[in-house]
Structure 1
C-alpha cells in the first residue's frame, strides 16, 4: 500500500520569551493510502504542531515531512484541513462555501455546482445548499466544512479536534457520518482528538503521544471491522483497546518508549 505521509526524525522548537521550547522531538511516522489514523495525547504533547507540519502551516526545525513522496514546503490542494472552528464564510450559502475551493481551482460553474451538491448530499446536507451558516446547527456547519474539504479531491484529510465544540449526542452522530463518508471515499485521514473513545471508534490505528517534548510512545492497532457500530462501543474488544489507549494518555512513561520504524508502517 502506498505511503501518503512520511515523517522522518522531525523535531520542532519554538522561540519564547523564556528561551527555546521544544514541542516535538524525533518523531517518525508513516501513514498509508486510505488509512484512518487518530492522534491522542495530553495537552501540550505537540499533536496540533505535528498536524500543522503535515499541512505545511509550519516548518520542522529538524527532519523532514513528505506527502505523496514530496517534501512539504507549504499548504497545498493535496491536503484538506478541518479545524474545530468551522471557518465558513458567513455571507455565502452552504453550497457556495463548498464551491469556494473549486472556484479557486478554476472549475466551470456547472461542474463546480454539481460537485458541490454531490458532496453536500454525501454529508447529509443536500437539502440545505441555499442555507447560510447562521441557519445551520453546529453539527451541520461541520458537515459543510467536511464537504468543502472533500470537494477539492485532496489525497489527505487533516482534522484537528473537528468535533470538540459539539455536544455529546451530536459528536457521536458526526463520528458515524464521518466514517460513512470515509468508507465511500477512502481518503487518507489524520485525525487529532482528546477523546479516547473517539480515537478508538474512528481509527484503524491510534498514535499515542507523550508530553513535553512530544514523542510517539505507542502505536495501537484497532482490529475492529468497519462499519463501526454502537454494539462495538460496548464490546469487550473495544474496552480492551480503549484501556490501553487510556493508560498511554493518562499514565505515560517518564521517557517515551522507542518505537521502531517498522512498527509505524
Structure 2
C-alpha cells in the first residue's frame, strides 16, 4: 500500500518559501526536496515553525514558492485544483447547511448533475459513518463528527491527493484514535495519496508508511523514516515492540535536533 513508484505523485523540488517581515525576510521552508509516491501515506512531523503547513499550502496551490517548484503528476502546481483535496484542523463547515449540503458543496460548484451529485455525496457520507446524520446541521454534531463531515466533503470530489493539516489536533484522545482508525479504513477502501501533518509523534507513526521529520529555522527535511508496519493497523500495532521502537526513533529525531547556528552579527 505504501510502495513508492516512479515518477512520484508529488515532488517538492528545491522549494523555498520566504515572507517579508519587519527588518528582513522570514524563510518558512528552505530548499526542501521530497518525493511522495502514488497511493503513499506520508506524515510530516516536527517542531512548531518548521514549515509543515507551508508545505501543504504549496502542494495545494494556496501559496507559491519563492523558488523551486511543486509538481503533481508531472505538472507544476500553479494554483488549487480538484485533483487535490485539503482538510484543515478547523472544520470550515457552512453552519447553515446540513451534512449532506456541506458534503455536496464542491460537487455543486463543479457543476456535477443532481443524480451523480447525490450518489457521490451519499457514498462519501456512508464512508465516514455519518449516514444517520446526513440531514443534521453542524451545530448538532460533535467535534469528531464535524471532522468526519469535512473528510467526506474532500472525498466526494474524488481527489487523487488528500492533504491534511492537523485534522485531529483539536479532538480528545479517544475520538482522535477512533478517527485515525477510520481514516486508515477509508484510505484502504479508496486508496489515494495522503500527506498528513501532525504534531503528534505516535499519530505520525501509526498512520504512515513514511514519516518526514522537519527541522526549524529555516524549515527543512531533517530525516525521513520508513515505517515497515503492515496494514491494517490495530490496537495490537500500538502495543507492539516494533511500534514502540519506531515511535522512539521518530521522537528522538524530532526532539533531539541540534539547534541551527545563529547568524553572525552584523
Aligned with 1:186 (options 167, 186, 191): 191
1:204 is the counterpart of 2:195 = no
Cα RMSD after superposing both structures: 1.1
1:166 is the counterpart of 2:171 = yes
Partner of 1:148: 153
Partner of 1:263: none
SS state of the match for residue 104, structure 2?
A: helix
Partner of 1:217: 222
The residue correspondences of 1:1-265 to structure 2 (distance < 5 A) are: 1=5, 2-254=7-259
SS state of the match for residue 119, structure 1?
A: helix
Distance in 1 between the 2:140 and 2:258 partners?
47
Deviation (angstroms), 1:151: 0.7
Deviation (angstroms), 1:254: 4.0
Instruction: Output the TM-score relative to the length of structure 2.
Output: 0.94
Structure 1 unmatched ranges of 5 or more: 257-265
For these two proteins, the number of residue pairs brought into alignment is: 256
Structure 2 unmatched ranges of 5 or more: 262-266
SS state of the match for residue 140, structure 1?
A: helix
SS state of the match for residue 150, structure 1?
A: helix
Deviation (angstroms), 1:223: 0.5
Q: Which range is displaced more, 191-200 or 100-109?
A: 100-109
Deviation track 1:149-171 (CA, whole Å, cap 9, x = no partner) reads: 01101110000000000001000
Partner of 1:262: none
Deviation track 1:72-121 (CA, whole Å, cap 9, x = no partner) reads: 10111111000000001111110111111111121111110111011100
SS state of the match for residue 10, structure 1?
A: strand
